[in-house]
A = this chain, B = another copy of it.
């Protein structure tokens, strides 16, 4: 029931900053933050947008909900519930969230740009190990 009961004990027990790090660098945290940097999204809309991104795969509703919830709890994401039926909920970044998202996007961009170099390094490493 509690939002962060899970991740807390593994490595975030001491050092609450580490917990925040894990939220923003988590599998879907990264994707969500980058998406919300461009604009506000609704739940299903965000889900579809992520799924449509090549090579990122689909998010399950559970994981998206969980990710948004921990980001909201940390004060990085704002959840705006319009009192209408059918329900209409909008997610956006807070100022704090925007700061985080910018850094995460930079990091994601970096890994993207260095991808070739890293893959080459991995091949060389594996080859050196196998060959002797």
Q: How far is the CA of A74 from the CA of B4 in the complex (A)?
A: 31
Give A101 Cβ to nearest chain B Cβ, in Å. 11
Distance from A57 Cβ to chain B, minimum over Cβ atoms (Å): 6
Q: Is the CB of A119 within 8 A of B21?
A: no
Smallest CB-CB separation from A13: which chain B residue? B57
A108 within 8 A of B: yes
Q: Which residues of B contact A85 (CB under 8 A)?
A: none
Interface contact B75-A21, CB-CB below 8 Å: no
Q: Which A residues are closer than 8 A to B by beta carbons?
A: 2-4, 11, 14-18, 20-21, 24-25, 27, 30, 55-57, 72-75, 96, 99-100, 103-104, 106-108, 110-112, 114-115, 117-122, 124-126
